[in-house]
Amino acid sequence: MTPTTPTEPVAPAEPESLVAGAPEIEPVDPVAPVEPAVPLTAEDISIPEGLQIPDEIRDDFLGIVNDGEMSPKDQAQALIELQARAAEQASNETSQQFLDQQQQWQDEVKGDAEIGGANFQATLGGIQRLVDQYGNDEFIGVMASTGAGNNVHVVKFFNAIAQKLNEGGPVSGAPANASESAASRMFPSMKG
């Protein structure tokens, strides 16, 4: 038997990257502290030009995305609910703007020296006869739903046509004091 000579221990070879040129991945220390995420602020968000977001909605959004305690599912649900609230708020504001515009137009008509004031009822009566003779329910519906019938320029236009058509005498159609006249349907907010 031949005596064996002890050999030196061999160090394990470094693992080669599976992809040539790939960066080495450093092992993760499972007990290393995780740095807290830096919360988003209003300055971190770019709002498209012309879009205005109420501060309350913006702050609620930031509160949701910065809440590290919420699960992704809960964050998604909260964002959906926030969007629904923002859409409802925008709709209510648009509706109020429409109503305010209609009131402003009505006040302009009623205050106009030519068609309003003491002439207001005669103006509506002449327009009623015009609509009774030449209008239809679809036309009346369009005027009522768009509010165009409340605009001083539209009322003046119809009044001028009504006066030209009525110069020769009364135009056949419903009497001016009919309970549900075309004019009252076309200009529902202009009664009295």
Condensed to tens digits (0 to 9), the pLDDT of residues 135-186 reads: 999 999 999 999 999 999 999 999 999 999 877 655 455 544 555 565 666 6
Q: Which amino acid is at 45?
A: I
Question: Distance between CA atoms of 73 and 57, rounded to whole angstroms?
Answer: 20
Q: Please give the pLDDT value at position 5.
A: 61
pTM, two decimal places: 0.60
Taking 80 as the threshold, does the pLDDT of residue 74 lie above it?
yes
Counting residues of the chain whose pLDDT is more than 90, the rounded percentage is: 61
Question: Distance between CA atoms of 50 and 75, rounded to whole angstroms?
Answer: 27
Question: Distance between CA atoms of 60 and 62, rounded to whole angstroms?
Answer: 5
Residue ranges of domains in the chain: 52-95, 112-190
Contact of 93 with 99, CB cutoff 8 Å:
no
Q: What is the radius of gyration, based on Cα positions, of the chain?
A: 38
| pLDDT tens sequence across 112-138 | 999 999 999 999 999 999 999 999 999
Q: Which residues contact 191 (CB under 8 A, 6 or more apart)?
A: 184
Mean pLDDT (whole number) for 22-45? 76
Question: Distance between CA atoms of 140 and 161, rounded to whole angstroms?
Answer: 16
